[in-house]
Amino acid sequence: MKSTLVKVISTVFLISFIILTGSNVIAENIPTKESIIDSVIKRIQEENNQLGNFQVTMSATNQFKTNQQFNATLEMQLTFNGLKRTGAQFISAGFNGKPISQSQFNQAKERLMAGHNQALGLFKTDFKAIDPTNLYNQCSLDGVDVINTVPVYRLKYVPSGDNERARRIKEVEVCVDQKTFDLIRIEVTGKTADPVQSAQMTIEFQKSLKDYYLPTLIQSQSQIKPNWNGQSLSLQTSGEIKLTNYRAL
């Protein structure tokens, strides 16, 4: 009996050891959140300086419901210098399966891409003008994880204060590569702020130009109550943006 018990305990210990050492989840020496944030900022600055000029194809789909269900599509060629967008060329657009012209799309783009506009507004508000002096206090380190075989640190950003970010953003989950400090995934959850009743967005990154991780998939969901031509509507949206064919210029 004692020999059997010893074997069971040994087996359990061995399995536990294999799980812990083979999962690639647990970083041996987890750095402080301040160190991770500094490394991410440094990596983004490096990326901005090293990428140079490049193009990427953007394909967007948006589904929205009022009393009926509608579907809109858009394809564009985007040009960047580093992380700054420098151009956008219209390729095609469609509505409910039928092609529409660029002028037709432009006339109705606020409606056709309403969900994308609201969700991407969260991203723009959050990351285009973050105040670095408050970033340490507004971020927490939520541990480690593995995303698509990549070991990551998980950071949570909760904006505070009397500003647009704090009024519109509930929280942002950021997953960072443990080795390179590239962004791997960003999840944004919005607050209720007229006309937005709820909004969520997830951005996935994959290794691309010069081995930097660049966004490849943006998914968004929102419920908004816009006022169009004096009429208040309840609108549910679900959208997806794919970024493909990255190429240097």
Instruction: Please give the average pLDDT of every successive group of 10 residues along the chain, which has 249 residues.
Output: 39 36 56 90 89 93 82 90 88 91 79 54 44 76 92 91 77 94 92 77 93 92 73 78 94
The pLDDT of residue 207? 94
Number of neighbours of residue 81 by Cβ within 10 angstroms: 14
> What whole-number distance in Å separates Cα of residue 14 and Cα of residue 107?
65
Angle at which helices 114-127 and 102-112 cross, to 10°? 70
Percent composition of the chain: helix, strand, coil (DSSP 3-state, to 5):
30, 45, 20
Number of neighbours of residue 132 by Cβ within 10 angstroms: 9
Strands, E assignment, 112-195:
139-147, 150-157, 169-177, 183-190
Number of neighbours of residue 48 by Cβ within 10 angstroms: 14
The pLDDT of residue 133? 62
- What does the block give as tokens for 104? 């037709």
- What does the block give as tokens for 74? 């858009």
- What does the block give as tokens for 196? 């937005």
* Sequence-ordered list of residues with C-beta below 8 angstroms from that of 64, at least 6 positions apart, any chain: 70, 72, 114, 115, 235, 236, 237, 238
The pLDDT of residue 167? 76
The pLDDT of residue 229? 67
How far from chain centre, in Å, is Cα 58? 15
The pLDDT of residue 131? 54
Q: With contact defined as beta carbons under 8 Å apart, do 181 and 43 qualify? A: yes
State yes or no: cis peptide before 195, omega within 30 of 0. yes
Number of neighbours of residue 230 by Cβ within 10 angstroms: 5
Q: With contact defined as beta carbons under 8 Å apart, do 81 and 55 qualify? A: no
CA 242 to each of CA 53, 137, 203: distance values in angstroms, whole numbers, following the listed order: 20, 33, 10
Q: What is the pTM of this model?
A: 0.80
